[in-house]
Amino acid sequence: MRTGPVEPPAPPGMLPPMVRRLTAVAAGLAALAAIGLGTWLQIDERHSLGTAHTAPHTAPDRIDVHASIQRVDAGARELTLRLLVVPRGDLAEAGGLSPASALTLLTSAAVRGDLRFPAHTRISSVDVPVSLEGGSAADYPFDAYWTAIEVSAQMDGAAVPVNMTLTGRDPLFTQLVTAAHSQGAATFEVTVERTTSVLLFALFMMAAMWALAGSVATATWYLVSRRRGLVWPALGWMAATLFALAAFRTTAPGTPPFGCLVDYAAFLWAEVVIAVALTCTVIAGARAEFTGTTR
């Protein structure tokens, strides 16, 4: 015979207490799992962002080139490469801040222009544009681009060794890099593509757009089928959703151009569904109000 406390039965329409507790625990565990997954993704992206790719040369008399990808402009199909040039050994004056002789960096065709540094003059970092090939911004967020970066050095017309590192600094793009030395030049084959966070956010945006469009369509079916008339709060919510989606679209990271995959897969269709649903709601509601058949 049971002597312990007996849980009262749940009111009609409510889940039993045990089920509610289990649901709360499951929701808490799901939230912790989402936080853990997000933290792991952020750490992984941060690690990738700080990875240095090296085309090494160990000669004591050499030119060190530290390159970093500061920004990728998918619309202009170019990236901005920041170069810090440091002469070493007998190629540098005391302190290594300036070359002992006139220094020229010869670059590949994708890098716009060779760089020349006068002798006995302090070398400052310089930003150079690099053209990108392949891909299209219209494929956002699945667009990817590639380029070839080659750097060799000459002093007084004679070739000198180059030791070069390349690091990615644009938080919206990740880099796949193959580094090597080829005929005295440091060579990097670089592919840039959207980071996992950008891809996930873009997919979330598309899902949210369809969810909002479905919510408005469901509300329209309810109002029209039950002849609710002109329900002004509902109409205001529908109209606000129509314009809110346009503002939401502009928050896409990387400012993708209009006509990209996000637009054709979700945004334009969601706007059409909401606009049609709002119009149908107004027409049906006005008819019900005019004929006096509202419920």
Below-70 pLDDT ranges, the chain: 1-15, 44, 46-47, 95-96, 294-295
Our count of domains for the chain comes to 3
pTM: 0.80
Q: pLDDT value at position 21?
A: 78
Do 102 and 150 belong to one domain?
A: yes
Do 178 and 231 belong to one domain?
A: no
Do 187 and 228 belong to one domain?
A: no
CATH number of the domain to which 91 belongs: 2.60.40
Is 1 a domain residue? no
Task: Please give, one letter per residue, the 3-state secondary structure of the chain.
Answer: CCCCCCCCCCCCCCCCHHHHHHHHHHHHHHHHHHHHHHHHHHHHHHHHHCCEEEECCCCCCCEEEEEEEEEEECCCCEEEEEEEEEECHHHECCCCCCECCCEEEEECCCECCCEEECCCCCCCCEEEEEECECCCHHHCCCCEEEEEEEEEEEECCEEECEEEEEEECCCCEEEEEEEEEECCEEEEEEEEEECHHHHHHHHHHHHHHHHHHHHHHHHHHHHHHCCCCCCHHHHHHHHHHHHHHHHHHCCCCCCCCCCCHHHHHHHHHHHHHHHHHHHHHHHHHHHHHHHCCCC
Do 85 and 178 belong to one domain?
A: yes
pLDDT tens figures, 37-66: 777 777 767 667 778 889 888 889 899 999
Domain that holds residue 55: 51-193
Do 188 and 67 belong to one domain?
A: yes
Do 61 and 173 belong to one domain?
A: yes
Q: pLDDT value at position 208?
A: 95
Q: pLDDT value at position 96?
A: 66
Last residue of a domain, one of 144, 176, 193: 193
Do 123 and 211 belong to one domain?
A: no
Do 43 and 114 belong to one domain?
A: no
